[in-house]
Chain A
């Protein structure tokens, strides 16, 4: 049973560039959430996708956008990168139909903005 997978593992970009991160949910899950984890901090919720729609959004600017595909995989796009966007980006999947709606995390994508 494949868990949550993310690509790429690491990424280096320069300020002003755009980046796309990818996530495939755990088998049987239909909901994908994205989190940003800055160094030394806990993860911060960016947004959640369900049925190809953004269901809820955290306190992040519009430079952060996403998409969910019919196969439930998801992308996170960040435009006009800032140095402060350097972080570990975590994807989590869940299945709302289950009683706990527990979120399972992937290994993350480490983004460095120079």
Chain B
């Protein structure tokens, strides 16, 4: 089945690290993605991880994948006000479609 779940809200102080968690159900997912959506805008691809990897780092972003528990996380180091947005976790189903979570709203406070 396809069902991606995320916590809905995260509040973080500027300069701290943010960690956004996601669980997915389709064990055949090849790739898992993180997208960012700012108000009134489309989705911006942040990063992705192949299912045979357990970690990927890209500048301030670190993705951790626990395939056994079907758990994905995104860590943003040194969170800035520009990181305030909705973050979506998505799994690739059959290489055709993406199945998204409901999104985690991240608010960065000074």
Contacts and interface: CB of A to CB of B under 8 A. Distances in A.
Interface of A: 4, 6, 33, 35, 40-45, 48, 55-56, 58, 90, 92, 96, 100-108, 110
A103 B96 CA distance: 10
Contacts of A100: 31, 48, 50
Contacts of B110: none
Interface residues of B, number: 25
B42 A108 contact: yes
A45 to B, nearest CB: 4
Given A41-B102, A102-B33, A105-B35, A48 B42 contact: no
Interface stretch (B11-19, B61-69, B87-95): B87-95
A29 to B, nearest CB: 13
Nearest to B96: A56
Given A55-B96, A102-B45, A105-B43, 14 more contacts: A4-B42, A6-B42, A33-B98, A41-B103, A43-B98, A43-B100, A45-B97, A56-B94, A90-B42, A101-B31, A101-B92, A102-B31, A103-B98, A108-B41
A104 B95 contact: no
B43 A96 contact: no
Nearest to A103: B98
B99 A45 contact: yes
B31 A48 contact: no
A42 B31 contact: no
A2 to B, nearest CB: 14
A106 B31 CA distance: 20
Nearest to B44: A105
A35 B35 CA distance: 14
Contacts of B35: 105
Q: Which 7 A-B pairs have the closest CB atoms?
A: A42-B100, A45-B97, A105-B43, A107-B42, A56-B96, A105-B42, A108-B42
B96 A48 contact: yes
